[in-house]
Amino acid sequence: MTREEAQLRITTLTNELNKHNHLYYVLDQPEISDFEFDQLLEQLIQLENQFPELRSNASPSQRVGGTVTKEFTAVKHKYPMLSLSNSYSTDDMLEFDRRVREGLGLTNGSLFDDATVEYVCELKFDGLSIGITYENGELVRAVTRGDGVQGDEVTTNVKTIRSIPLTLHGHYPTTFEIRGEIFMPRPVFEAINKEREEIGDAPLANPRNAASGSMKIQDSKVVAARKLDCFLYNVLGEDIPFQTHFQSLEAAKSWGFKVNHHARKCHGIQEVMAFIEYWDKERFQLDYDTDGIVIKVNDYRQQRALGFTAKSPRWAIAYKFKAEQVSTLLEKITYQVGRTGAITPVANLKPVALGGTTVKRASLHNADIIAKLDVREGDTVFVEKGGEIIPKIVGVDLGKRSEHLVPTVYITHCPECHTALVREAGEAAWFCPNDTGCAPQVKGRIEHFVSRRAMNIDSLGAETIDQLYEAQLIKGIADLYDLKMEQLLPLERMAEKSATNLLAGIKASAEVPFERVLFSLGIRHVGETTAKKIARKMRSLEALMHADRETLLAIDEVGEIIADSLLAYFAEPAHRELLERLKAAGLKFETEAPAGGTSEKLKGLTFVISGVFERHSRDQLKEMIELHGGKNSGSISGKTNYVLAGDNMGPEKLKKAQSLGVKIISESDFEALLAQNEI
């Protein structure tokens, strides 16, 4: 393919991907499947790798992430990001309306004057405020709110958010800024927390903190995996051709931005109050969090006439919904043991109505939260639901505390097996280390092992696992493969057909591929995606068990915490014995998928990449090394064969390579190595 042909194809693919991206993420009207979209994207990436000079900063390929930002640069806002004054009652809103009308000369000062102002009401999203600058229709910069005067530039991370257009269409200003709110949809938040709990990580606190924290992650590939979303709601610039705020929202929608369709024009404060009343009840039906309503004077001329105070605009206000809160008696604090051994304290409450449901229990999260709240059995506590699914205790009514109540002392031993609890440095939770003899852990690990995304033994539910465990037929996952028909038939509700299906399901699980077997082991911090990357890189359990820390850290998505967790798991004799039994049962401990390499030219060679390159990104070079059988490492050692050095190579790496006599090659040398298998 010639350069001209490649340019034409890249343009066609870019336009097609942008169209489908907008249909899916903004309009929610997909026309093609995810697989078809991914195929088009893969074609584009391959062409851009072949012709890197044709890759645009606004290419759809930039959304997949991969760039690592070492630190986020502080950028001063061209237009300060002021906060809004808050209101919490009808009286506050009536007073705001009176001030607006008075400021516009539409009232004689009476609170109930007949003159009305046109307002725009918008849902107030609970996320991270962002300002995004576009020049000539392309996204050039994204900056967080920060302190309102300056914020952090997070352009690379923002580009991973699919609902934010990289290029615009229609008639837009040459240069402008648009502001909005980055948020994590609740279904995404729940899915992430489910996986985090499966791998033993602490769950994210709430969608707002999750969205805010995601924007400060240095690896944009991780940000892309968070599946953030964004609503845009304010257009700023020197030459904005609109007379009203609502017109600007409609225009932004036509340019390709995701504008929340619940925004409404309201004539006068009574319509505003009706809008607030409606959403105070309906907000819980949304799949994202909203904590209030933003009310703005619609007419730009009126906005300019009203102006600003030192801290906020006089023409806008935020009405904050009251969090649903009740008080009730904390009858008892109990402790649950999770699959990974994490101990979760639970507040058992006197039943109380909250958010349309009867609440009997609330999570107390960990020992630090109990100490911070100074919550005690017998206290009257305040319970909130708000946008949260799980109720939480937010405080204690000290005025009702009896002088006889004693401070809560967190348990020191497992409530199930009585093993002394441990707490690792940097961890919030206490853990029971008895992972082979603590009943909730053992049964929880078996449930994880047989789950659909792991070994997929669908004939084994939690009730059956509990039955088998109580009958002492299984004490761990390996025992499943020793079960016999004559052991199962005497069990209650276990007819011959049920027993046959169960044994058939266990036997069929031996065909599950290695990557899912690895995930099914329940190694702490090793989720489904990470297990897949480890399996494809290491190829066998044998290789993984003998891998050193450096080798593990070279695997994509494996950081220090995961590497140390793997090393600790395989160092445990009980785990090694378990793996031997599973191997004897016929489980797949080697990957049968092709390695994906295009050759073995670099087989047996270890590379360290350092510096900035002219024709390839560092990730592209790493991929090329792996495709040709080589190995990437993050640090130079005596096992390193080559240091692939670009501009601005780290001086310490250069010094170490020279001291160890490791050969340093350039980007051109590397290309020659691939072409001829020699330098």
Report the pLDDT value the prediction gives residue 34, as an integer from 0 to 100: 64
200: left (phi over 0), alpha (psi -120 to 50) or beta: left
Q: Are strands 316-320 and 290-297 parallel, antiparallel or unpaired?
A: antiparallel
Percent of the chain with pLDDT over 90: 48
Amino acid making up residue 375: V
Domain ranges in the chain? 3-64, 86-320, 325-400, 439-511, 514-584, 606-676
Residue with tokens 């082991």: 521
> At the topology level of CATH, where does 325-400 sit?
OB fold (Dihydrolipoamide Acetyltransferase, E2P) (2.40.50)
Q: What's the whole-number mean pLDDT along residues 505-517?
A: 92
Which two three-digit tokens encode residue 277?
């009343």
Q: Is residue 497 flagged as an active site residue?
A: no
Q: Which residues pair with 87 in a beta bridge?
A: 319
Report the pLDDT value the prediction gives residue 111, as an integer from 0 to 100: 47
Using only the alpha carbons of the chain, give its radius of gyration.
Answer: 30
Q: Is a pLDDT exceeding 90 seen at residue 114?
A: no
Report the pLDDT value the prediction gives residue 582, as an integer from 0 to 100: 96
CATH homologous superfamily of 439-511 equals 5' to 3' exonuclease, C-terminal subdomain (1.10.150.20)
Report the pLDDT value the prediction gives residue 615, as an integer from 0 to 100: 78
Report the first-to-last Cα separation within the chain, whole angstroms.
28
Residue 67 binned pLDDT confidence (cut-offs 50, 70, 90): low
CATH homologous superfamily of 86-320 equals DNA ligase/mRNA capping enzyme (3.30.470.30)
Model confidence, pTM:
0.57
- Identify whether the C-beta of residue 323 lies closer than 8 Å to the C-beta of residue 388: no
Q: Is a pLDDT exceeding 70 seen at residue 68?
A: no
Can you spell out the DSSP letters for 434-481? -TTT-HHHHHHHHHHHHSTTTT--TT--HHHHHHHHHTTS-SSGGGGG
Question: Measured between alpha carbons, how far is 511 from 442 in angstroms, rounded to an integer?
Answer: 23
Nearest 5 degrees, angle CA 60-CA 61-CA 64? 110
Spell out the alpha helix ranges (H) of 471-559. 485-488, 496-508, 514-520, 528-538, 541-545, 549-553
Q: Is a pLDDT exceeding 50 seen at residue 419?
A: yes
Q: Is a pLDDT exceeding 80 seen at residue 596?
A: no
Task: Please indicate whether the domains covering 439-511 and 514-584 agree at the CATH topology level.
Answer: yes
In Å, how far are 3, 132, 136, 500, 576 from 506, measured between CA atoms? Answer: 55, 53, 60, 10, 21
Distance of CA 56 to the CA centre of its chain: 27
> At the topology level of CATH, where does 606-676 sit?
Rossmann fold (3.40.50)
Report the pLDDT value the prediction gives residue 91, as an integer from 0 to 100: 92
Q: Is a pLDDT exceeding 80 seen at residue 595?
A: no
Residue 21 binned pLDDT confidence (cut-offs 50, 70, 90): confident
Distant-in-sequence, close-in-space partners of 228: CB < 8 Å, separation ≥ 6: 160, 161, 182, 183, 184, 188, 211, 214, 215
Q: What's the whole-number mean pLDDT along residues 464-478?
A: 93
Dump pLDDT digits (tens) for 165-183. 999 999 999 999 999 999 9
Q: What's the chain's length in residues?
A: 679
In degrees and rounded to multiples of 5, residue 181 shows phi and psi of -130, 120
Which overall architecture, per CATH, does domain 3-64 show?
Orthogonal Bundle (1.10)
Dump pLDDT digits (tens) for 530-587. 888 898 889 899 999 999 999 998 887 788 889 999 999 999 999 999 999 999 999 9
Amino acid making up residue 123: L
Choose the catalytic residue: 124, 296, 385, 443: 124
- Identify whether the C-beta of residue 153 lies closer than 8 Å to the C-beta of residue 141: yes
Dump pLDDT digits (tens) for 129-144. 999 999 999 999 999 9
Report the pLDDT value the prediction gives residue 112, as an integer from 0 to 100: 47
Does the domain at 514-584 match CATH 3.65.10.10? Answer given as: no
Which two three-digit tokens encode residue 533?
């990357």
